[in-house]
Each structure stands twice: as C-alpha cells, then as structure tokens.
Amino acid sequence: MTDTGGVHRLERVRGQMHDRAREMLGVGPGVVTGGLVGEMRVSGSRWYPLLALGGLVLVDRAQSFAVFVLGPEIAGGTGVTQTQLATLVALKTLAIAVAALPFAALVDGRPRRALIAITCGVVWAIATGGTGLATTFWILLFFFVLDGISTGAVVAVHQSLLSDSYPPTLRMRVISAYEAISSAGNVLSPVIVGMAVAWWGLSWRGVFLIMGAVALATAVYAMKLRDPGFGVLDHQRIREAIRADVGPNRAAPDVPLRFLEASRRILLIPTARRLLAAYAVIGMAFVPMTTYLFFFLDFRWGLDVGGRSVVYAIMALAQVAALLGIARPFQSRFTRSPRAAIRLASWLLAGSMAAIALMVLAPALWLVVVLLCIGFGLLAAVTPAASVIGMTIVEPQLRPILAALAGIAYAAIGGLGGVLLLSGLDTRLGPAGAIAAIAVPGLLCAVVLRSAESTIDPDFDRLVDAVVEREEIEVLVESGTSLPLLSCRGIRFGYGPIEVLRGVDFTVQEGEIVALLGSNGAGKSTLLGVISGLNLPSAGTVRLVGGDITYIDAERRSRMGIVQVPGGKAMFGGLTVREHLEAYAWSIGANRREVSKAIDLAYDAFPTLATARDSMATLLSGGQQQMLAMTTALIRRPRVLAIDELSLGLAPMVVAQLLDFLRQMNADGTAIVLVEQSTNVALSVAHRACFLDKGEMRFDGPARELQGRSDLLRAVFLGVGSPFESRPASPAVTDGANRKEHPSP
C-alpha cells in the first residue's frame, strides 16, 4: 500500500506465511499423513459427520439404483411406458443439475448446510415412500422431481460440509470414503430388492415403502449434524496464525460476493474450468453410459436383469475398492504437490476411458467384467481427487458453489449432453459403438485435466496469498496504517490468449488526481475497466479502502462510488439532456426533490447544458457531450472517478472548462483517474502520474517528474517503441516519497 512501512510489512508477512499457509491447507513437506483411522484419532475428528452424510447419500443412491432394477415392474404397475420411465429418470437428473445452484445460493455465506442436508434427507424419505404409492405418470413425475431437487442439496452441500468438518490432511480420504459409501448403495440396492422380493414377497411398491422407511431412519440419525462454519480447519487457522504473529483481529473489510459474482469468479480460475470439464466427462460416463451398458450386456452377452444387476454390483464393489485403495496415494501426492495429484487424476481418467473402450472388443464375458471394473473403478477414483483439488483452490464460502457447478457439469453437460450424443451414436453404431466412442471426449478431457498441472500451483498460491493479504490488511488497519482509497495489485488481464495487463500495481489515494499515461495499446483503458468492474482480471486484487472488490459487478461498484466515464460518446443517443440527467439521478435511488437538485447542480456546472436541455444528446457538440458525461458522473457522487480520454477531439477552451470541473470535483473529495493521450492536459491537472507500457507499470511518481522524462513522453506523443526496450535493466528506484520506476524485466 502507499505507506511504505505497511507495504514492506505486508510483503514480509506474506513471504513468511506463504509456506506455512500452504501447509495449513495440507500441502508441503512438513505435512505428515497417516492412515485414516490413526489420523482421525490424532486430529480428534469424529466419525459422525462422515457416517451421517454417508448414510444419507447411501440411501439416495440405493433408491436411484432401485429405479433401474425395478424399472419394468414400475412401468407395468403404473402404466407408464419405458420411454416415459426414461424421461422420468432424465427429468430427475435435470432437477439435480438445476437444483444444485439454488441450494448453493441458500448456503452462500451462511453456515446452514447441515440443516439443508437433514431436511433433504427427510424429503428423500417422502419421495421414496411416495414413489411406492404412485399410480400415474404424473405422481411419479412429482416424486422423481422432488427426489432430484433434494438430491441437488447433496451435490451442493455434502462435500463442502465434509471439507469443513475434517482437516485438510484427512479430506481426500474422508471424501473417498464418502464416495465409497455412495457407491456401496449400488451394491446394496439389488441386494435389498432381492431380499425384499425373495424373502418377504414384496412388490416394487413394498420395496419403495421399506426404502422410504430406511431413508427416514437415516435422516433421523443425521439430525445431530451441525455446520462447523466455512474454512474453520484451514483458512481460519491461517488467519489465527497471522493474528498470533502480528496482532489482534479486526472486522474484515471485504465486500462479500453475491451468488452470480461468486459463480463467475470460480469460472475465471483456470484449474476450476479444467476440473469442470473432467466432471462433464465423468457424468457422461456414469449417467447415460449406464443405460447403454445395460443394452450392451443384454444384446452382446445375453444377460438378463439378474445378470446385469450382478455385473453392476461387481462394478460398484470395484469402485468402492478403488476409492478406498487410491485415497492414500492421492493424499500423499497432493500433500507433496497438487501437480502430482492432477497428474495421477489425468492418468486415471485416461486409463478408465481406454479400459471402457477396450471392453466392447473383449472376447469373453469375464474380461468384459474385469475391464468394466478397471474402467469404472478408476473413473470413480478421480471424483474425490477432483473434489478435494477444487475445494482447495477456492475460498471456503465458494466451495458449495463450485460443487454445484461441478454437479451441473456432471448432470446437465455430461448427463443430458451425453444422452444426446450417445443416442445418435447408438442408432448408427449400436450400444457397443456408442460406448467405445465416448473414449474420444474422455481422452481429450484427460489431456485438458493434465494441462491443469501448469495452472494448479499459481491458482493455489493465489488463494494462499489472498488469505494472507486479507488478514494482513486487517492487521494494518488495526495498527492505524492508512490504506489507499483504491489499490490494484498484480493485475493480469487478457483478451483471449493476448495478455494486456501483466501484473500491474496501481494505487489511488483519497483526494488524488492520477494521470494514467502510455502509448496506444499499453493497457490504460483495460486497467480502467478492471477498476470499474467491466473487466475481470485473471489474477490480482482490486481493493477499495482495503476491501476486496476484484470480482464485484460493475453495477455494484458504481453504487460503492467507483464511476467510469468511458471514452467516446458516453451517452444514450435517444435521450435528451434532461432525460439523461434524470435517468442517472433516479439510478442512484434519489427521490424527486434530490433528482431536481442534482439536475440543477449539473446545469450550474455547465450552463450550456441548461440551454440545450431538450436537445437530443446526439445533436450536441463534442464538448457538450463530454460535459453531459461529466455531469452524469457528478450526479452519482463518486469516490473514484475514472475518465477515459477526456480531451479527445475537443477545443482547448472546452478542455479548460472540463479541467476546471474536474478540479472542483476533486476539491469536493472525489479522487480521479484520468487516462489521456494528451500528456500536457493530464499533467496540468494530475498530482501523480503512472506510465504503462505493454501491460506493465513503468513509472509511478509525481506528475512534475514525468514532465522531465522525455523518453517516456516521446512514446506517448510519437507512438515510438518502448523507451525501456533499449535501456539496460537497472534496479527499481524508490525515493520513499511514492516514486517508483519499474525496470524492464
């Protein structure tokens, strides 16, 4: 931050804390992992959250699988066709995908995941029992969708809740165990159905009623679940470590992300995007391929319902074994380096796809079963790895949203998209062709996942730095260090593959006018967009008085006091001057009296606008249009006003008027960031100047000093190459009075 001591302290603490914070997130040479049971005992963790959530997902999975097993009986009893039954299953899958995000929104920043998990457990019981009472397609539809919606909660809250209930060193194995319990539902389901039919003589209705009762008992068992809060065993400990080292805590200044902002923020994380691609392929394999596998085993190998159920149960057992067996190698690799875990996950994904594709060519049934066990076992093992890696690279509050997005990738993109893809292939190539063809997207996805090797460390470090920086800023505030009004740190932004901003640092103090200069294409307007929220950076933070606003919507930032006047015609052509002013005044929630007052204020600032009040904005002169743009900013009473090209194409007299206006706004307390092609104009009004060159900040110091730098100014005036290109690298210069020169790398 601009207080040099504060900045140095922040950098020092960040450096000191970095490795320690990584270890607190379960990564590093100092992290020791043991067996699941021993680690549970050592860490003092309870088995209850795993058993309660595992029990809930077990009965849900068993119920879902029972629909496959008892499908013909359900169709025969209720009069629905096989197509309608398939539609019901597809709609349930869709409901899972659609419901995951609203459930994530329900727990967004509010620790009530346990309550939702329990409630949905009770709803499953109702849906399962209700299915046994259904007599028509529409009643079945109601219960299937109800079941799907409540299963959306599993997707959104279960793994996030488990993550916060166990320390990072246990997470991979706990989530693997949870997934193993879930897979065990596929084994138990045919067993329960078989027992209920053979021993108790129950029909499919009786089976569903029994399963509903079991589900209700499980929900009752889970009643003691409690939400421990977000990040209590990782991020909270990092914060406590910083406080213990440096000083007491203070209320966080961060602005909480809203749900859609948080979702968008997750999608900006490169590793998260790659993991979501992996989830889509896993969904494609598990959701529609299960159906095609049924047909394949039926037509190619003549297996009836009983035979197919046995194969599925064996596959589920293989998944349980794989999940339990591979959890420890995954955990140890992850502890050593997340890159190693990514590498292993991508190999497993590729291996599973190859095994499934080869399976269709197998000459003997036993080989088919072996390859299916390998394929689906490896595929199942990827899921907890992807889950833990994902949970590690996002803030704890965002974990339910990431899980929901993963659920959508799994169910909607993979599941429903896979149905469309495979049904077309099935018609042309038959079930074997459809199953083999899935290896193509599967192997591509393994390559994409492998590419996350290069993104995981930067993403992980970014998170660690963000936690440390956030906590340290609180400590700086507590110690009385003044924070800049606006600060950008390490901003990176690109348009597709072209990186425009490369780690830019930029600050604005209260009451300051900062000129942002540079040649064409240097990244000035892009940086303004990052400040105002029109551009979201791929790395770095934007803070308003210490509060992180990096991923806050532009519209919210405007209400927080960051207003941008874009270059060119910043107006709506179809509105008159007065309508413009009214629209902006109403947009800040002003009442009629305040609107009138704001308009008078604008007319006082530029009387020429008063005379043209009923003119269409497009009919105004260039100077009048810029005046109108300035007054719309004035109405919004900004704390930071970012102006892109104030003087472009305007007469000197008009420019002088506009500069006077800016000085007055600044005197009234508005800090101003001015992007200008004309250095004379910019430096005549600015207190400080910054010079951007090819996306990097080259100069940051008093405006009068820049006037003496003809090499830099030539670049702006003449558009010549970077003045830094021909200069030898020299150490950065800091005079302690807020002047920095950044050398070429």
Q: List interacting residues with other proteins (CB under 8 A).
A: 72, 75-82, 84, 115, 118-119, 122-123, 125-126, 129-130, 132-133, 135-136, 197, 201-203, 205-206, 209, 216, 223, 295, 299, 302, 304, 426-431
The answer to whether the beta carbons of residues 480 and 384 sit under 8 Å apart is no
Tracing tokens 């889970």 back to the chain, one arrives at: 222
| Closer residue to other proteins, CB minimum distance, 208 or 279 | 208
CA distance 41 to 584: 61
CA distance 123 to 212: 10
Q: Which ranges of 360-398 would DSSP assign to H, the alpha helix?
A: 365-392
Q: How far is the CB of 212 from other proteins (least distance, A)?
A: 9
| Closer residue to other proteins, CB minimum distance, 195 or 616 | 195
**Backbone dihedral angles phi then psi of residue 2, each to the nearest 5 degrees:** -75, -25
Q: How far is the CB of 593 from other proteins (least distance, A)?
A: 42
**Backbone dihedral angles phi then psi of residue 701, each to the nearest 5 degrees:** -170, -175
| Closer residue to other proteins, CB minimum distance, 205 or 694 | 205
Q: How far is the CB of 202 from other proteins (least distance, A)?
A: 6
Q: What is the 3-state secondary structure (H, E, C) of 457-504?
A: HHHHHHHHHHHHHHHHHHHHHHCCCCCCCEEEEEEEEEECCEEEEEEE
CA distance 106 to 401: 10
Residue 699 one-letter amino acid: F
| Closer residue to other proteins, CB minimum distance, 119 or 738 | 119
CA distance 362 to 237: 52
Q: How far is the CB of 520 from other proteins (least distance, A)?
A: 59
For every residue of 692-743, DSSP letters joined together read EETTEEEEEEEHHHHHT-HHHHHHHHH-PSPTTTTSPP---EE-SSS-EEPP
The answer to whether the beta carbons of residues 689 and 699 sit under 8 Å apart is yes
Tracing tokens 């609203």 back to the chain, one arrives at: 102
| Closer residue to other proteins, CB minimum distance, 181 or 222 | 222
| Closer residue to other proteins, CB minimum distance, 122 or 560 | 122
The answer to whether the beta carbons of residues 352 and 380 sit under 8 Å apart is no
| Closer residue to other proteins, CB minimum distance, 77 or 743 | 77
Tracing tokens 């100092």 back to the chain, one arrives at: 30
CA distance 63 to 59: 6
Q: How far is the CB of 233 from other proteins (least distance, A)?
A: 24
| Closer residue to other proteins, CB minimum distance, 81 or 621 | 81
In this structure, what is the dihedral angle of CA atoms 379, 385, 389, 390, given to the nearest 10 degrees?
Answer: 50
| Closer residue to other proteins, CB minimum distance, 229 or 306 | 306
Task: Tell me the Ramachandran region of residue 337: left when phi exceeds 0, alpha when psi lies from -120 to 50, beta otherwise.
Answer: beta
